[in-house]
């Protein structure tokens, strides 16, 4: 579903409402064990095939968790429909895209 390896979080499951809670908790747990203050963690979404609006909530919660640990979280390979949802909701500028 989600794994941490070499400073990179890789999500491999659909980011939809039915998976949201499990993804949220798994990602938070991995972020809490990732690196040290000031480190950058890459959130790789290249394997995510399906998203709905809950994906944005999960990503923003992960950003808060990373911020609590003074980690930087950068998003790579976001699905196009996730970016469309972010623009629709007016939050695209809040996503730290790389």
**What is the rounded distance in angstroms from the CA atom of residue 76 to the CA atom of residue 17?**
21
Closest CA to 44 of 67, 29, 62: 62
Give 35's DSSP letter: -
**How confident is residue 36, by pLDDT bands cut at 50, 70 and 90?**
confident
Q: Which one, of 48, 55, 39, 41, lies nearest residue 98 by Cα?
A: 41
Q: What domains sit in the chain, N to C, each tagged with a CATH number? A: 2-94 (3.30.750.24)
- Residue 7 binned pLDDT confidence (cut-offs 50, 70, 90): confident
**pLDDT > 70: percent of the chain:** 100
Give tens-digit pLDDT for 59-70.
999 999 999 999
């Amino acid at each position: 579903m989600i794994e941490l390896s070499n400073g990179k979080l890789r999500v491999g499951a659909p980011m939809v409402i039915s998976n949201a809670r499990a993804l949220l908790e798994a990602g938070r747990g991995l972020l809490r064990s990732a690196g040290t203050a000031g480190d950058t963690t890459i959130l790789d979404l290249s394997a995510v095939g399906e998203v709905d609006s809950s994906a944005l909530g999960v990503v923003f919660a992960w950003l808060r968790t990373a911020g609590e640990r003074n980690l930087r979280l950068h998003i790579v390979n976001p699905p196009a429909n996730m970016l469309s949802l972010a623009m629709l909701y007016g939050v695209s500028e809040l996503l730290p895209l790389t």
